Structure formats: C-alpha cells, structure tokens
Amino acid sequence: LLISSFSFTVSIRIGHLQSSPEERDVILSCFPPNNSSVKVVSLPACDSLFSGVDNAAKFRYFHRMEAFIGANCVEEAMAISRLTERWSSPY
C-alpha cells in the first residue's frame, strides 16, 4: 500500500491595465495581505492611443499573465476583450 500526500499551491498572475493610481490599491485590498499565490502587475491603459491593447499583449506574451483587469475606456476594453477571448483568459 502506497500512500502519498501531494501538496501544491495554486497561483495566479493578474495583469492590471491601470487607468488611475488608486485602482491598484483597490485590487490589492481584495486579496489577503502577504498572499504569495497572487501576483498583480500594473501597466498603463487609456492614456494614449491604444496603450492598453499594447500592454495587454505584453502581459500575455512577455509576463505570461493568466487574467486581466482594467482598461475602463470603451475602445480599448472592446479590443482587449476580443484578444482575451482568443487567449481563453478571463477579463
């Protein structure tokens, strides 16, 4: 009889497309302090012509983010939602 115990940690990497500085603090307050299983990285969105779309692609391909939050400007949000649908990532 072989009994083994598996221990694993579920972690998630969230790409935050930031429109205002206060957003990051609100997002981080949703997770327990010192929670190493959640990593939130913020990059700007909605500040110049489609910077959020560019940063969403950077999150996906360079930072390997699994979920996306933000980009509350309509044009960027529509484009990013189409990309995340193709990537099978929540937005």
**pLDDT tens-digit readout, 55-65:** 999 999 999 99
Residue 62 has a pLDDT of: 93
Pairwise pLDDT comparison (41 vs 49), residue with the higher score: 41
C-alpha count within 13 angstroms, C-beta hemisphere, residue 37 = 6
CATH code: domain 12-87 is 3.40.120
Rounded-to-integer distance, Cα 60 and Cα 86, Å: 11
Residue 3 has a pLDDT of: 56
Q: What is the pLDDT of residues 75-89, one digit of tens each?
A: 889 999 999 999 999
* Six-digit token string for 13: 């990497």
Rounded-to-integer distance, Cα 32 and Cα 37, Å: 10
pTM recorded for the entire structure: 0.77
Sequence ranges of the domains in the chain: 12-87
Rounded-to-integer distance, Cα 6 and Cα 87, Å: 30
Residue where the block lists tokens 């930072």: 63
Pairing outcome for strands 38-44 and 67-70: unpaired
